[in-house]
Structure 1
Amino acid sequence: METGADVVAASEKGLIIVNKADRTEIQTLTKSRGLSDIDIQHLAWYAPEDLLIVGYRNGNLDLISSAYTVRNISDIARSNIFLGRRRLNKIRIYRDRAYICTGFGIVVFDIGQRLFPETLIIGPNGSQIEVFDLAFDEAGGRVYAATELGVFSASLNSSLSFFLNWTPEPGMANKPFNHIVNWQGKIVANRLTGTNDDSLFIRENGTWSWMYDVFISKNFDVEVCGDELVITNDFSVVSYRPNRSKRLNIEPGNVFNPRFKPKAAVLARDGNWYWIASELEGMYGYFYPEGWLFTFLPDGPFDEDVFRMRYHNGRLWVAPGALNSVWGPTFNNKGIYYYENFDWQHLTASQLNNRTDILSITPSPVEPGTVYATAWGQGIVQITNGQYVTTFNASNTDGGLSPVAGAPDQVRAYDIVFDSKGNLWTATSLSERPLTRRTPNGQWVNYAMGTVAGTTTNIGRMLVTREDQIWMTLQNRGIAVARLDPNGTLQVRQLTQLEGSGNLPSADVRAFAEDLDGAVWIGTSAGVAVLYTPRFIFEPNRSYDVRRITFEENGIVQALLAQEVVTAVAVDGANKKWFGTQNSGVFYTSADGREQIFNFNRNNSPLPSNNILDIEIDRRTGLVYIATDRGIVAYQGAATEGNETFTDVFAYPNPVRPDYDGPIFIRGLVTGAYVKITDVAGNLVFETRAEGGQAIWDGKDFKGRKVQSGVYLAYMSDELGFNTHVAKILIVR
């Protein structure tokens, strides 16, 4: 979409913005930066106000000014009428109104008044029909609607809200049409087939005919730009002059780009620049007639798919694979991506020897630059310094990786962990000897797990505790815990729902994490439980039943998240807990789990979905990475990992300049440090206690007033007052 100064392209999750004059800087606008929603469906521009209208699939609207301030109009999305058909298809501007094509009809929005004066239900006998697109022919005095039941039209001088004024166009009924435009007084409509042979029809001199000279293909977009008809199909962009001769045909071959996959295109008002939305590479600018193709691709992960994440030494690794409902392969071939120093990188499947279904990635603590990834059904992939090395399977580990029983070429490893001695541990599903250890010198050893796990057991997530216990989730069978005793013999225990054998709230265990006190917090399909003393599992006559976290609310005792499917558990630098759920977003609680601090969900935060798949925390900075089924979001948490002594203490921003209105962070503190802030005269203006190794000051005094310009001293000490430190903060108002 071309606005006054910019060109804007939409992805499902946000906007890509390029200034037409300089074409050097790419800006983005997303839900975390001002947009109200995700799943953008269509864009429209209202020239008198230089107003961009963003339409979302659920009917939500954002009005965006030329300064990119956003006003949300949520009436359609919030309406209780037309449930199940409120999907938005397109927005067309006519005079001072936006006509919104939906699954039930047309909603009219008065742009100047910012209100909805009427809804047009245009189907036969006043029925709801899906309207995909509209075209206005002011000279001819009619409006045309492309619908699921064909092309309808009505006189612009009639009451458009009266369904009898809408009539089917001759020869264009009972077949779906999804695009319709006014091209120099001729109406062009695209008949939707659901295959790759859409057909275009044109109305000339009152008669509809097939455009036989237009290539038959799957047409993603049809637009009129100036006097040209611009068609985007499944492999090219074609522009036609009014005499129906081709002005331009842009396809992978003539731009020398095999990744050229257009989804929509417009010709700029200058008549030279074609702006093209790409499925794979953001947005293109094509300059005619020279044929220069420019790519405008903002930084981001290769795809929204994510299964597991792992943060290690400044790098966030993302495994995008997936399993189906019976733990079978999905043949996800999107490789691996990682984030480091504000930059995303992608290792393609071809770079990984065509491995698919990457489920987890674990950096090696004893091999710098090396990570190990599980490829479901194929084995364990070794990557060193970003280069594929090998894939370990049953044949090249002397049987150390135990294959699926009856399928010797199938090694189904889900996760990998390393213990304190540098041993790599993994567990293979449906195998005779599921648990495998690879020693630091490269020797592979596997172990049978008796009745706990074998040829009928799927094994999922793994955890290694500070005492080198190996925890494993068993599909609908609770948890297996293993360890090597001092003689090197494997000991295995199973935690189940039975009292005395774990007392889990559910056998469907989805996640777990060890906190800073050594307790293991467990997420299940029936909420959260905690085992405070994991070492008791292998001690005789000791109970290792888990405990539920209970609290009283409105006189009723409840268990923590008992009604939620808890899919992720993470612990931050202050020992506070993060829980991801399948349906309700993210919960952040106190260290003991009894106090809810936040509940982030799609409605109150930038989360694109309430279905949380994983949570990883950078304890050095407090940044929390949250993986959903619609992509990854980062949240700047308050807690960082604390130190035993004050180490490299610093405050930022410092100095605090007049245009900054955010929090001031003080890092490098001892765990739970006490912080008092005074002016140079010694007057106390603020005090707090660190979250882990970080304290936060909002720049205000005890009465909530911004402090004046000057130098402020932050006095810090540990709980006993033995370790102390002083930092200076300069504030300029």
Structure 2
Amino acid sequence: MKKHFFFFFLLLPLLQFAQGFSALWEGHFSYFNIVDIAKSDTKIYAAAENAVFTYDINTEELQEISTINGLSGEAISTLHYSDAYQLLLIGYENGLMEIVLENNTNVLTVVDILDKVTIPPSNKGINHFNVLDNLVYIATDYGISVFDLERLEFGDTYFIGDQGSQLSVGQTAIFNNYIYAASRNGGIRRASLDNTNLIDFQNWEIIVNGDFLRVEALTNTLYAIRSDRVIYEIQETNIINLFQYNRPPLKMVGIEDRLVITTDNNVFIYDENFNQISQIDIDQNFNTSYTSAIIDGDVVFIGTTNFGILKTSISIQDNFQEIHPDGPLLNRPFSLEAFSNNLWVTFGEYSFFFNPYPLNSRGFSRYDGNSWLNIPYDDVLEAKCLNSIAVNPFNVNQVFVSSFFNGLLEVNEEVPTFLYDEENSGLESLFIPTNPTYVDIRVGPSQFDEEGLLWTVTSFIPKPLKSFNPSSGQWRSYDFTDIVPDQLGSNLGYRDLAIGRDGTKWVASYSFGVIGFSNEGGSDRIKNLSKDGNLPHEYVTSLAIDRRDQLWIGTIEGLRVLFNTSGFFDDDNVTASEIIISEDGVAKELLFKQLVSKIVVDGSNNKWIGTIGSGLFYFSSDGQQTIFHFTKDNSPLPSDNISELSLDESNGTLYIGTEKGLVSFKTGSSSTTEDFSESHAYPNPVRPGFDIVEEKVKIKDLPENVNIKITDIEGNLVAEAQSRTNQRYNGFNLEIDGGIAYWNGKNLANNIVASGVYLIMLSDLDSFETKVLKLMVVR
């Protein structure tokens, strides 16, 4: 690895991203589960799975460092802070190393270990950093690598196993001019730092054999921990048995001539002579496990799995302070529902094959745009595997959350109030002939229609589609056996539900493609669209009805569009169509063979499409233009595996769930309005300090089909646009994106307008309503 390194600086976060939108992104990571802790003279650094936060010891200020700042989003394994160089070192399970500068805005990414082809991927994990002067000794699953902080490059790598083989090293320590390594099944090994040829395994001697996890040095004493939970003092080539812990030690840190050892339920603090100073047990008010700990004077900071950092006194442990940034319960969002400036998140998984086992108990979270409210499992009436969320549009304080095992949970004013099951509702359990008393109600997709009825789909039963009227309490069930004959087979899972403006319910199934159901006019009609209808695969993952009543269909092997939804039940030869695009003059199918995970339609009828493996796409309304393609390499996405999307049409925020956390993107789009009653332009007036070309004047709360003319006070036309012509991202001076228009201040000659009063004339092309707004521009 010598003198081979690759890095990039993020002098400003937006410089990293090729498409330049970092200011529009926000991270919503969970900071409850702490992996490791480090400290400087003034700050505590805590790694929470794949993000970091800092805590200022003096001011108690919290600051987040995540993919928004340039971190990779991968799983963090260890932290270390260098006081001399004012650098935070972050090690990852996959071998990646990142260095964060003191201001937390510059990130250096080092991929030498990650890209090393001679080391198996399973052996690249970074376990520990040990800094001596300008050198970092990196303990890894293959040996020890040396990194120069002065030159920011790798030096030698030590393969210290027998005959120079790779050997997993959990931790290193510097003591009496020797470097010691605690290795798995390789004992404690050491080498003299005066030896200039440490790459030769023969210069490493074995002090003691065995399976050792940790080694740490204080000023005059060297300690090691073996996998049998015994801690030893090492004296030259001898070891002295000191103590055996009840639980396996997870971390051992030497700081301020004190030794800090963390198990999952205790923190032990010793002096130089291994006299116990303090033992900090789990507090009865915090049901959690400890992961790591560090001390600062008489204060100990303890990493936990559920409460971030707990801060308490070493001498008097009568008060624990919970420290972490605001965030959702977990970093694994399963379902999202954004509505009216609120986001609801669940974490209840079921597998690709609709198997909820092992059953999870995780609660849910709600974000109001400023803060998070987390509802723990203890408060959700024992409803497990929570997934789909439906907000009542006629009562936004009433929310229904599907349980893929227990039924349907009703939440009122953020409080779970009622659990609907097979005994108190129209919901049904799957039926197992050999175990007829077994109850398993797998409620999945749910959505409200325009009349205020809640529609849900339950997997593995003959009548999966059900409607529920929250006002009357009435339930109705609808039979799918004409399409799906086997009520217990593994092919009866349902992934998504979309409701058309004509009342048709579209259901995404595991092995029967798209199932359309209509009960308009009093008669039930049911039909499906599968591979015979040009679907690339029967497993349909996502459905979305766009603003032209076209059904966009995502499958595990690509994308299709059903253009004629109104004739679906009457057309004997109904087929879906692929989107054909031209790429470098070659006709290609859009998202060919891609696993489409979610489709969302915005106010401009453009499509946000999430994939597994290829990140997030933003397409024009017809799919012919790729407006954005976000991946973890060019954006703050923590993963290219997009699990869920939800667009809050009230403010244009797109929430993006991935397997490694939740982020959001300010799209600038918004939903349309019925009329011009709330239409307005801002900023108004446009002052000299406002960059009108880049920031643009916004004309908000517009109907769906609108014409906009901007004139000067004398009536000269300055700019003009129509909803279906001058759409956003096409280079027009005046662009319309759903319910909002953007004007860059330029006239028909492409020059920035002079100071003055301008008239914005709005015309609804459907209702013929008009409105005139006045805008003052001061340059």
TM-score (norm 1): 0.90
Deviations 1:487-507 (A, max 9, x none): x22111111111xxx321211
Deviations 1:438-490 (A, max 9, x none): 2452222222223312413223321111111111122122111111131x221
Give the match for residue 169 of structure 2: 131
CA distance in 2, matches of 1:580, 1:199: 49
Higher relative contact order (CA 8 A, sep 6+): 2
Classify the secondary structure of the residue corresponding to 1:32. helix
Whether the 8 Å contact between 2:655 and 2:663 is mirrored in structure 1 is yes
Q: Which AA in structure 2 matches 1:413? A: V
Is 1:70 the counterpart of 2:106 in the alignment? yes
Whether the 8 Å contact between 1:663 and 1:699 is mirrored in structure 2 is no
Q: Which AA in structure 1 matches 2:293? A: A
Using a 3 Å threshold, how does the CA distance of structure 1 residues 549 and 91 change in structure 2: closer, same or farther? same
Is 1:182 the counterpart of 2:217 in the alignment? yes
Is 1:465 the counterpart of 2:511 in the alignment? no
CA distance in 2, matches of 1:481, 1:569: 18
Classify the secondary structure of the residue corresponding to 1:211. strand
Give the match for residue 330 of structure 2: 303
CA offset at residue 702 of structure 1?
11
CA offset at residue 62 of structure 1?
2.7
Is 1:452 the counterpart of 2:487 in the alignment? no
More divergent stretch after superposition (514-523 vs 720-729): 720-729
CA offset at residue 405 of structure 1?
5.2
Residue of 270, 273, 278 corresponding to 1:240: 270
Is 1:666 the counterpart of 2:698 in the alignment? yes
Whether the 8 Å contact between 1:404 and 1:411 is mirrored in structure 2 is no
Q: Which AA in structure 1 matches 2:695? A: P
Pairwise mapping of residues 347-496 of structure 1 onto structure 2 (< 5 A)? 347-367=375-395, 369-397=397-425, 401=428, 403-404=430-431, 406=433, 407=436, 409-439=439-469, 440-454=471-485, 455=487, 456=489, 457-486=492-521, 488-496=522-530
Whether the 8 Å contact between 2:207 and 2:237 is mirrored in structure 1 is no
CA distance in 1, matches of 2:613, 2:459: 28
Using a 3 Å threshold, how does the CA distance of structure 1 residues 286 and 692 change in structure 2: closer, same or farther? same
CA distance in 2, matches of 1:659, 1:131: 56
Classify the secondary structure of the residue corresponding to 1:432. coil
Classify the secondary structure of the residue corresponding to 1:49. coil
CA distance in 2, matches of 1:544, 1:550: 19
Is 1:584 the counterpart of 2:614 in the alignment? yes
Is 1:725 the counterpart of 2:773 in the alignment? yes
CA distance in 1, matches of 2:190, 2:164: 14
CA offset at residue 334 of structure 1?
0.6
Deviations 1:259-301 (A, max 9, x none): 3532111112xx2222222221122322343434322121100
Residue of 22, 31, 34 corresponding to 2:59: 22
Residue of 647, 656, 661 corresponding to 1:617: 647
CA offset at residue 536 of structure 1?
0.7
Using a 3 Å threshold, how does the CA distance of structure 1 residues 272 and 45 change in structure 2: closer, same or farther? same
CA distance in 1, matches of 2:45, 2:608: 36
Classify the secondary structure of the residue corresponding to 1:125. helix
Is 1:692 the counterpart of 2:738 in the alignment? yes
Is 1:506 the counterpart of 2:540 in the alignment? no
Give the match for residue 264 of structure 1: 292
Classify the secondary structure of the residue corresponding to 1:547. coil
Whether the 8 Å contact between 2:221 and 2:272 is mirrored in structure 1 is no
Is 1:51 the counterpart of 2:79 in the alignment? no
Deviations 1:158-195 (A, max 9, x none): 12433234434333x2x332321112332212223xxx
Using a 3 Å threshold, how does the CA distance of structure 1 residues 107 and 708 change in structure 2: closer, same or farther? farther
CA distance in 1, matches of 2:270, 2:396: 57
- When the two chains are superposed, the root-mean-square deviation of aligned CA atoms in Å is 3.1
More divergent stretch after superposition (433-442 vs 553-562): 433-442
More divergent stretch after superposition (441-450 vs 678-687): 678-687
Using a 3 Å threshold, how does the CA distance of structure 1 residues 220 and 698 change in structure 2: closer, same or farther? farther
Is 1:285 the counterpart of 2:317 in the alignment? no
Residue-pair matches, total: 710
Using a 3 Å threshold, how does the CA distance of structure 1 residues 374 and 360 change in structure 2: closer, same or farther? same
Whether the 8 Å contact between 1:359 and 1:376 is mirrored in structure 2 is yes
Using a 3 Å threshold, how does the CA distance of structure 1 residues 322 and 649 change in structure 2: closer, same or farther? same
CA distance in 2, matches of 1:549, 1:158: 65
Q: Which AA in structure 2 matches 1:392? A: Y
Give the match for residue 232 of structure 2: 201
More divergent stretch after superposition (471-480 vs 696-705): 696-705
CA offset at residue 58 of structure 1?
2.7
CA offset at residue 699 of structure 1?
8.3
More divergent stretch after superposition (75-84 vs 146-155): 75-84
Give the match for residue 345 of structure 1: 373
CA distance in 1, matches of 2:73, 2:472: 51
Give the match for residue 340 of structure 2: 313
CA offset at residue 20 of structure 1?
1.6
CA distance in 2, matches of 1:628, 1:444: 34
Q: Which AA in structure 1 matches 2:700? A: G
Q: Which AA in structure 1 matches 2:343? A: L
CA distance in 2, matches of 1:526, 1:665: 42
CA distance in 1, matches of 2:100, 2:773: 48
Whether the 8 Å contact between 1:400 and 1:445 is mirrored in structure 2 is no
CA distance in 1, matches of 2:691, 2:331: 33
CA distance in 2, matches of 1:660, 1:9: 39
Give the match for residue 11 of structure 1: 48
Q: Which AA in structure 1 matches 2:261? A: I
Whether the 8 Å contact between 2:540 and 2:553 is mirrored in structure 1 is yes
CA distance in 2, matches of 1:280, 1:652: 44
Deviations 1:75-105 (A, max 9, x none): 3234444241322221110111111222222
Give the match for residue 327 of structure 1: 354
Deviations 1:415-447 (A, max 9, x none): 222223222222222223322222452222222
CA offset at residue 645 of structure 1?
4.4
Give the match for residue 546 of structure 1: 576
CA distance in 2, matches of 1:570, 1:231: 49
More divergent stretch after superposition (656-665 vs 524-533): 656-665
Pairwise mapping of residues 567-578 of structure 1 onto structure 2 (< 5 A)? 567-578=597-608
Give the match for residue 193 of structure 2: 156
Using a 3 Å threshold, how does the CA distance of structure 1 residues 365 and 643 change in structure 2: closer, same or farther? closer
Whether the 8 Å contact between 2:709 and 2:718 is mirrored in structure 1 is no
Deviations 1:612-632 (A, max 9, x none): 111100112211111111121
Pairwise mapping of residues 91-110 of structure 1 onto structure 2 (< 5 A)? 91-110=129-148
CA distance in 1, matches of 2:684, 2:146: 48
CA distance in 1, matches of 2:315, 2:58: 18
Is 1:143 the counterpart of 2:179 in the alignment? yes
Give the match for residue 528 of structure 1: 559
CA distance in 1, matches of 2:494, 2:103: 52
CA distance in 1, matches of 2:712, 2:67: 38
Whether the 8 Å contact between 2:495 and 2:540 is mirrored in structure 1 is no
Where does structure 1 lack aligned partners over 5 or more consecutive residues? none
CA distance in 2, matches of 1:370, 1:723: 36
CA offset at residue 51 of structure 1?
2.0
CA offset at residue 351 of structure 1?
1.0
Is 1:601 the counterpart of 2:642 in the alignment? no
Identity %: 24
CA offset at residue 665 of structure 1?
5.9
CA offset at residue 236 of structure 1?
1.6
Using a 3 Å threshold, how does the CA distance of structure 1 residues 596 and 341 change in structure 2: closer, same or farther? closer
Whether the 8 Å contact between 2:648 and 2:654 is mirrored in structure 1 is yes
CA distance in 2, matches of 1:687, 1:460: 41
TM-score (norm 2): 0.85
Using a 3 Å threshold, how does the CA distance of structure 1 residues 381 and 494 change in structure 2: closer, same or farther? same
CA distance in 2, matches of 1:727, 1:600: 35
